Every structure is written in C-alpha cells, then in structure tokens.
C-alpha cells in the first residue's frame, strides 16, 4: 500500500468501547483487511480509589465513548468500521473521517513513543538546559513513559529534587 495508516477517532455508544474495539479487529481479520486496519486503541488510566474496605486500583477509560483506530482509509475500511454494532460514526467534519495529527496523537496518549533513557538511578548528570543550567546532580528516578527524570541537585546547601526532560541533562563522565 502506498498510503500510510493514520489514527482516526470513532464515536461509540457509551459502555460499548471494548465490544466495538474487539468487533473491529475481528471483522478486519474475517475480511482479511489487517493491512488496512492495523491497530485499535482504548487509552486507559489506573486510578486508586479509596473505599470503606481500603484502597483498590481501578482502570478507567480516558475517553469514554471513543475508540481510536489506526487504518488506511478506503471505502472498504470505512464501511467495515462504520457498520460495526455500537459505532455511531467517525469524528470529523461533514461526515468525513479526519485523521489525527502527530501532535494530537501524542497529546491524547493514543500512541506511546518509548524513548531509551540512557540514564539510570544513581548516575551523575549535568543540567544543560533551563534555569538550573550548569548544576550537577544525581538521577533519583527515571520515567520512560514521560521521557523525564528526577534529579537531586544541591541548591543553597540543601538536596532538592527537580523533574527534568531527557534533553535537559547529560551524563557526567569522570
């Protein structure tokens, strides 16, 4: 295929997101259209709820009523998705499906672009960008999902934790 698959947002009846996602994948498999419909995503987050019986982790949909589908938009793929039970339509203008931009994909958390950190807890680093430019510190925590690190720097004689992006620090080589 000459065209690259793009992410589209499909509106569903509330509570039918999982069934719709499974049905889209199953229909694509049955019709041998996996090359057109490559991925289906339901962004979720885990929230700790406090109840009278204690704490429990519960998974919530970030965008209830919506399913994200990575596909090459053709008449066949559009009809396949549109005719799945529970789908009310594509998000777009004038009834036309509009793909998400790269920035929207990142902002909405549809796709995670894992970045190799290159940093480990305990590594000595130097801040090379931002208001703490030039400060030395030690990596305390690495968050690969957000491409951020927590660095302990010494400011005014105190150890202070600072959250920084990967690009703001570099390893100190002895």
64-73: average pLDDT? 93
The structure tokens 């987050």 sit at: 45
Q: How far apart are the first and last CA of the chain?
A: 51
18 C-beta neighbours (distance < 10 Å), count: 13
Percentage with pLDDT > 70 across the chain: 93
Q: Where are the beta strands (DSSP E) in 62-135?
A: 66-71, 87-90, 92-93, 96-97, 124-127
DSSP state of 35: T
pTM attached to this predicted model: 0.62
Residue 34 has pLDDT above 60, yes or no: yes
Q: Which CATH class, in words, describes the domain spanning 6-108? A: alpha beta
Q: Which of 143, 102, 144, 111 is nearest to 43 (CA)?
A: 111
List where CATH 2.30.30.30 sits in the chain.
124-171
Q: What is the pLDDT of residues 149-166, one digit of tens each?
A: 899 998 888 999 999 888
Neighbours of 164 (CB within 10 A): 20
Give residue 36's pLDDT: 92
CATH 3.30.70.940 domain range(s) in the chain: 6-108
> What CATH number is given for 124-171 in this structure?
2.30.30.30
């Amino acid at each position: 295929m000459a065209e690259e698959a793009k992410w589209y947002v499909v509106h569903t009846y509330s509570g039918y997101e999982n069934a719709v996602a499974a049905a889209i994948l199953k229909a694509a498999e049955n019709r041998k259209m996996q090359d057109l419909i490559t991925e289906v995503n339901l962004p979720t987050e885990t929230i700790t709820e406090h109840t009278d019986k204690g704490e429990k982790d519960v998974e919530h949909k970030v965008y209830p009523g919506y399913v994200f589908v990575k596909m090459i938009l053709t008449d066949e793929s559009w009809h396949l998705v549109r005719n799945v039970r529970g789908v009310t339509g594509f998000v777009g203008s004038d009834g036309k499906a509009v793909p998400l931009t790269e920035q929207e994909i990142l902002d909405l958390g549809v796709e995670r672009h894992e970045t190799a950190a290159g940093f480990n807890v305990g590594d000595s680093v130097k801040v090379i960008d931002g208001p703490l430019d030039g400060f030395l510190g030690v990596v305390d925590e690495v968050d690969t999902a957000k491409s951020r690190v927590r660095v302990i720097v010494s400011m005014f004689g105190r150890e202070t934790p600072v959250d920084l992006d990967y690009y703001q620090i570099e390893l100190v080589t002895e």
